[in-house]
Amino acid sequence: MLALSLPAMADATDDDHDAVRRAVDSGKARTLAELKRVVMERVPGEIVSVKLDRERSILVYEFRILTPNGRLVEAEVDAADGRILEIENE
């Protein structure tokens, strides 16, 4: 199973990680496990990396998924509500 640890997400700052943790604890953001399920329902395959980023003041998880046919797809998900913002190479 792929380890999805926060320190591996180099683009986000410690403040971003703390903000996500506070948001999840307060119910204002979804957990990484929940977001992973949302992405897997839309883009089947194997998650090969996850990165946390800040875009226009919102926290966004970028999932890279290797599809069964060998394509690499990137899905951007709003950390707060789990909404898929963009899927590239779909």
- Work out how many domains the chain is built from and give that number: 1
Could you tell me the residue range of the domain that residue 33 belongs to? 29-88
In a domain, 46, yes or no: yes
In a domain, 10, yes or no: no
In a domain, 15, yes or no: no
Q: For residue 22, give both structure tokens.
A: 């506070």
Query: Around Cβ 35, how many Cβ atoms within 10 Å?
Result: 22
CATH code of 63's domain: 3.10.450.40
CB 79 within 8 A of CB 23: yes
In a domain, 34, yes or no: yes
The pLDDT value recorded for residue 90 is 59
In a domain, 82, yes or no: yes
Task: Tell me the whole-structure pTM to 2 decimals.
Answer: 0.76
The pLDDT value recorded for residue 28 is 75
Span 54-79, mean pLDDT? Answer: 93
Kindly give, in sequence order, each residue whose CB lies less than 8 Å from that of residue 85, ignoring residues fewer than 6 positions away.
60, 76, 77, 78
The pLDDT value recorded for residue 87 is 96
CB 56 within 8 A of CB 36: no
In a domain, 21, yes or no: no
Which comes out higher in pLDDT, residue 6 or 69? Answer: 69
3-57 residue pLDDT tens: 343 334 445 677 767 877 887 888 878 899 999 999 999 999 999 999 988 888 8
